[in-house]
């Protein structure tokens, strides 16, 4: 039975979560349905995670990916994303892109159309454009609400990064993550999300997408840590908790979603909230706190 798990970023129990509760839950459900449709149409796990992330990238202001991403300190937006396929560890990622309408599609373009794993900035957008990924002017991604937020809270940990993991009916695994990074970050800063082994990972054992304090996730090698534990026989939830504990030792918080080859899942976080959802067969569950 196929399993899809998604997250909308680890963060605080913000006022938004309360006032926009229905919108969050609706967005999560739509993303899960879109992934399921792809699988029903014969898509692979990587197509399903890409589809789910695209829906969440389209959620302006609610989620921190694609249009409506958080702003860097200078008021610009730099977006990053990664996709990874478990069967052959095929990985594609982009960092600090400013024009690709769906950064997750730009990551997929790097995987499908280049011999590389991670590309950055304008050159990454150009690869995406050549592969047919829609492009927009950088201003398109900036919303009035995010600009007002930057003025109020210059370095807020807004959360809202998005991610998806999937085990398809054939047992193949895939992961995808997309983010605008941290509000108020220095332009040029890259977090864990586009880095295979840190914020995103898929191999034959497990698929993982992370969210949280990117620097501490990078320094802990969170996703690869979880995969090594799972490969050695640790149950997936215990593996996720162990990796989050290491992040905690470095002073960071966050969350992970993961699915293993047997279809076991983990949705773990050390923050107050992490919008998240799961679809197993036809059953959908969604949560905020
Ligand atoms: N991990 C992301 C980053 O550091 C942020 C997040 O998940 O909220 O860029």
Nearest CA to ligand 1 atom 8: 159
**Is there an atom of ligand 1 within 6 Å of 211 CB?**
yes
For 59-115, the pLDDT digits (tens) are: 988 999 999 999 999 999 999 999 999 999 999 999 999 999 999 999 999 999 999
List the structure tokens of 277: 């959802």
**Is there an atom of ligand 1 within 6 Å of 184 CB?**
no
**Is there an atom of ligand 1 within 6 Å of 182 CB?**
yes
The side-by-side arrangement of strands in the sheet containing 265-269 is: 200-202, 206-212, 254-260, 265-269
Instruction: Supply the mean pLDDT for the chain.
Output: 96
In this predicted structure, which of 17-21, 68-72, 272-276 has the lowest mean pLDDT? 17-21
Cα distance between residue 178 and residue 130, in whole Å: 20
Smallest Cα–Cα separation from 57: which of 14, 107, 13, 12?
107
Catalytic residues: 161
For 228-241, the pLDDT digits (tens) are: 999 999 999 999 99
Q: According to the model, what pLDDT value does residue 15 have?
A: 82
Cα distance between residue 238 and residue 41, in whole Å: 34
Burial class (CB in 10 A: 0-12, 13-18, 19+), 73: middle
Res. 153 pLDDT band, cuts 50 70 90: confident
Distance 42 CA to ligand 1 centre (A): 32
Distance 178 CA to ligand 1 centre (A): 9
């Amino acid at each position: 039975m196929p399993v899809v798990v998604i997250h909308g970023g680890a963060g605080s129990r913000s006022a938004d979560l309360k006032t926009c509760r229905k919108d969050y839950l609706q967005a999560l459900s739509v993303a899960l349905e879109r992934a399921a449709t792809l699988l029903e149409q014969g898509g692979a796990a990587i197509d399903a995670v890409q589809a789910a992330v695209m829906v969440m990238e389209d959620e302006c202001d609610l989620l921190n990916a694609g249009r409506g991403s958080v702003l860097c300190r200078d008021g610009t937006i730099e977006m990053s994303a990664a996709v990874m396929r478990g069967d052959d560890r095929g990985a594609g990622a982009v960092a600090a892109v400013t024009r690709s309408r769906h950064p997750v599609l730009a990551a997929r373009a790097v995987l499908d159309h280049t011999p590389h794993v991670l590309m950055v900035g304008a050159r990454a957008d150009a690869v995406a454009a050549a592969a047919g990924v829609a492009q927009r002017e950088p201003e398109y991604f900036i919303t009035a609400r995010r600009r007002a937020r930057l003025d109020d809270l210059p370095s807020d940990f807004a959360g809202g990064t998005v991610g998806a993991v999937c085990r398809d009916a054939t047992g193949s695994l895939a992961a995808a993550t997309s983010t605008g990074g941290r509000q108020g970050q220095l332009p040029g800063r890259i977090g864990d999300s586009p880095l295979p082994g840190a914020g995103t990972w898929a191999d034959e054992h497990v698929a993982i997408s992370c969210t949280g304090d990117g620097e501490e996730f990078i320094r802990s090698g969170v996703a690869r840590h979880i995969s090594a534990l799972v490969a050695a026989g640790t149950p997936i939830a215990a593996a996720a908790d162990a990796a989050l504990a290491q992040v905690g030792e470095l002073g960071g918080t966050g969350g992970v979603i993961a699915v293993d080859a047997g279809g076991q899942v983990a949705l773990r976080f050390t923050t107050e909230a992490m919008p998240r959802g799961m679809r197993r067969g036809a059953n959908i569950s969604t949560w905020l706190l």
